[in-house]
Amino acid sequence: MNGIDPDGLIAETLIGADAIQARVAAIGAEITADYADNPPLLVCVLKGAFVFLADLVRAIDLPVEVDFMAISSYGSGTQNSGIVRIVKDLEMTIEGRDVLVVEDIVDSGLTLSYLIKSLQARRPRSLAICALLTKPERREVEVPVRYVGFEIPNRFVIGYGLDFDERFRNLRAIGVIDEARLG
Ligand code: IMP
């Protein structure tokens, strides 16, 4: 862990690598059962969900397809305004498809709420959300998340795709930043 965190910013591990792998395998099995007759198009929301997507697709035993989207939210500091811009759009048409959005974390819910509206307008046959993490305490708008990896407390987490200042995405576990060290 020192190589990834030379400055010792990570205070503790919240979810270990083995627990993540076990949960991803379980979600993959659920998706395999639920979508057996209609293999989904997985839409990965960049950048945070790329590690989760990579493991999740290999836990799904169906002929799935994947596509990627990147969004950026306008807002001052850590305050999320809910105004979201699509920075990279899908390459595929989703009309008539069974779409499963793969997200890293649902915090206020504002980003996903916007994204869902935008995707719904393209008339998919079905649209569902799979999020690795959710912070229920922070929710400002309700978003229907069909598959949840873990519910976590209101703390800033990093690792397994999630970043702090673009770092720590390559951590196998999910950890908590030591806020006292952040200046
Ligand atoms: P929301 O619109 O408030 O739900 O924000 C969702 C986005 O904020 C996620 O896709 C993440 O990119 C980012 N985010 C929220 N909480 C965290 C966290 O604890 N660590 C890293 N990124 C986070």
Q: Which atom of ligand 1 is nearest to the CA of 106?
A: 4
b/e 22-59 (16+ beta carbons within 10 angstroms → b):
ebbeebbeebeebbeeebbbbbbbeebbebbbebbbeb
Mutation probe of ligand 1 site: the residue of 52, 107, 108, 111 with most atoms within 8 A of C-beta = 107
Of 183, 141, 174, the C-alpha closest to 7 is 183
Residue 179 is predicted with a pLDDT of: 82
Residue 9 is assigned to a structural domain of this protein? no
Measured distance CA(121)–CA(78) in Å, rounded: 29
Digit-coded pLDDT (tens) for 112-140? 999 999 999 999 999 999 999 999 999 99
Residue 74 — very low, low, confident or very high, per pLDDT cuts 50/70/90? Answer: low
Which residues lie closer than 8 Å to 100 by C-beta, 6 or more apart?
A: 31, 35, 40, 41, 42, 43, 128, 129, 130
Specify the pTM: 0.94
Residue 11 is assigned to a structural domain of this protein? no
Q: Please tell me the distance between residue 36's alpha carbon and the centre of ligand 1 in angstroms.
A: 31
SS3 100: strand
Residue 4 is assigned to a structural domain of this protein? no
Contact residues of ligand 1, CB 6 A cut-off: 48, 80, 103-112, 156-158, 162
- Residue 23 belongs to what domain range? 16-175
Dihedral sign of CA atoms 171, 51, 44, 20 in order = negative
Residue 73 — very low, low, confident or very high, per pLDDT cuts 50/70/90? Answer: confident
The answer on pLDDT for 21 being more than 80 is: yes
Residue 2 is assigned to a structural domain of this protein? no
Active site residue 7: no
Residue 178 — very low, low, confident or very high, per pLDDT cuts 50/70/90? Answer: confident
- Number of domains the chain is built from: 1
Residue 79 is predicted with a pLDDT of: 58
Q: Percent of the chain having pLDDT more than 90?
A: 87
pLDDT, mean of residues 72-81: 62
Q: Which residue among the candidates 55, 98, 107, 163 is catalytic per the annotation?
A: 107
Ligand 1, atom 10, residue with closest C-alpha: 105
Q: Please tell me the distance between residue 106's alpha carbon and the centre of ligand 1 in angstroms.
A: 6
Ligand 1, atom 2, residue with closest C-alpha: 111
66: CATH: 3.40.50.2020
Residue 43 is assigned to a structural domain of this protein? yes
Residue 183 is assigned to a structural domain of this protein? no
The answer on pLDDT for 77 being more than 60 is: no
Ligand 1, atom 15, residue with closest C-alpha: 107
Kindly report the average pLDDT of the chain as a whole number: 93
Residue 180 — very low, low, confident or very high, per pLDDT cuts 50/70/90? Answer: confident
The answer to whether the beta carbons of residues 83 and 14 sit under 8 Å apart is: no
Residue 115 is assigned to a structural domain of this protein? yes
pLDDT, mean of residues 147-170: 97
Beta-sheet strands, E only, within 47-146: 65-74, 83-88, 98-106, 126-134
The answer on pLDDT for 163 being more than 80 is: yes
Measured distance CA(21)–CA(116) in Å, rounded: 27
Ligand 1, atom 8, residue with closest C-alpha: 107
Residue 1 is assigned to a structural domain of this protein? no
The answer on pLDDT for 83 being more than 80 is: no
Q: Which atom of ligand 1 is nearest to the CA of 156?
A: 19
Measured distance CA(156)–CA(179) in Å, rounded: 9
